Amino acid sequence: MDWTFLADPATWVAFGTLLILEIVLGVDNVIFISILASKLPESQRQKARTIGLTLAMVLRIGLLFAASWVVSLTADLFSLFGMGFSGKDLIMIGGGAFLLYKAVTEIHERLEGEEAHGDAGKAATFGAVIAQILALDLVFSLDSVITAVGVTEHLPVMVAAVVIAVAVMLLSAGWIGGFVEKHPTVKMLALSFLVLIGAMLAAEGFDIHIDKAVLYGAMGFAIAVEVLNLLYKRNKDKKRAQAVEPVHLRPARLKEDGTHEDAPVS
């Protein structure tokens, strides 16, 4: 293979751009994997996150090597009511519907289901959670690979960006999962984001293009508001935890017989 393209500065610009995009796209994947893994016992959660992200990397690299096939998915397979549907469209519609269903179901369980009433219910099986993570990985991997193909034509650059992005996600998955689990409002916000992403994917499947900059801009604003709320809550909790001012006693007064009389406390 000719590696002279590595001397081209444009290659490294494309690599940096693709790496950032892969990490941004991967954060949604990590959050949902963490939410699904939270259904498992504590001892199995880290294993589920690791397996889920490893599967994501394998799927993405495999699809990158089949990039020509992935690109061909944009060709229409059939038409319905004057609208053409390609393989990519069908995957986007199915994946969007899957995200919508799972996100709304998770929100329902946390607000109206057994968890909200203090009943842990039946724990999810490890295999069932991994199967859901695999389906999720397939949806996000396809979008990730199409993005990669659009940024650069060099396969080694694509693979390197995907591997590094997944490594970053593996290192941060535990922290992200713990943070989301610790703050219920963040979990609800993350699930709301998945509803938006699912709707966007399904819309793209029907050839309705939504500007991702607008969508991610709104999500970024929501995150900024939630950060301010968490900082406010933390400062409020700190003030509550401060030591209570002790009771101050007034100096004792002398009685007429010369003895001390304790003054009433203030």
Confidence of residue 12 (pLDDT cuts 50, 70, 90): confident
d(CA 90, CA 79): 12
Work out how many domains the chain is built from and give that number: 2
Asked if the structure places residue 232 within a domain, the reply is: yes
Confidence of residue 141 (pLDDT cuts 50, 70, 90): confident
Asked if the structure places residue 247 within a domain, the reply is: no
d(CA 173, CA 117): 28
Domain that holds residue 124: 7-209
Asked if the structure places residue 138 within a domain, the reply is: yes
Asked if the structure places residue 245 within a domain, the reply is: no
Asked if the structure places residue 205 within a domain, the reply is: yes
Are residues 57 and 120 both part of a single domain?
A: yes
Q: What letter represents residue 258's amino acid?
A: G
Report the 10 Å Cβ neighbour count for 206. Answer: 13
Contact 33, 49 (CB under 8 A): yes
Are residues 144 and 155 both part of a single domain?
A: yes
Q: Can you read off the two tokens belonging to residue 174?
A: 């535990």
Q: What is the pLDDT of residue 120?
A: 45
Are residues 219 and 104 both part of a single domain?
A: no
For the stretch 65-95, pLDDT in tens is: 776 676 667 777 788 777 888 877 887 788 7
Q: What is the pLDDT of residue 244?
A: 53
Are residues 175 and 47 both part of a single domain?
A: yes
Q: What is the pLDDT of residue 117?
A: 47
Instruction: Summarize the confidence of residues 191-202 as an average pLDDT.
Output: 81
Q: What is the pLDDT of residue 121?
A: 46
Asked if the structure places residue 246 within a domain, the reply is: no
Asked if the structure places residue 116 within a domain, the reply is: yes
For the stretch 199-258, pLDDT in tens is: 887 888 888 887 777 777 787 888 889 889 888 888 888 877 765 555 555 555 555 555
Contact 96, 199 (CB under 8 A): yes
Specify burial of residue 242 (Cβ count, 10 A radius: 0-12, 13-18, 19+): exposed
Are residues 99 and 226 both part of a single domain?
A: no
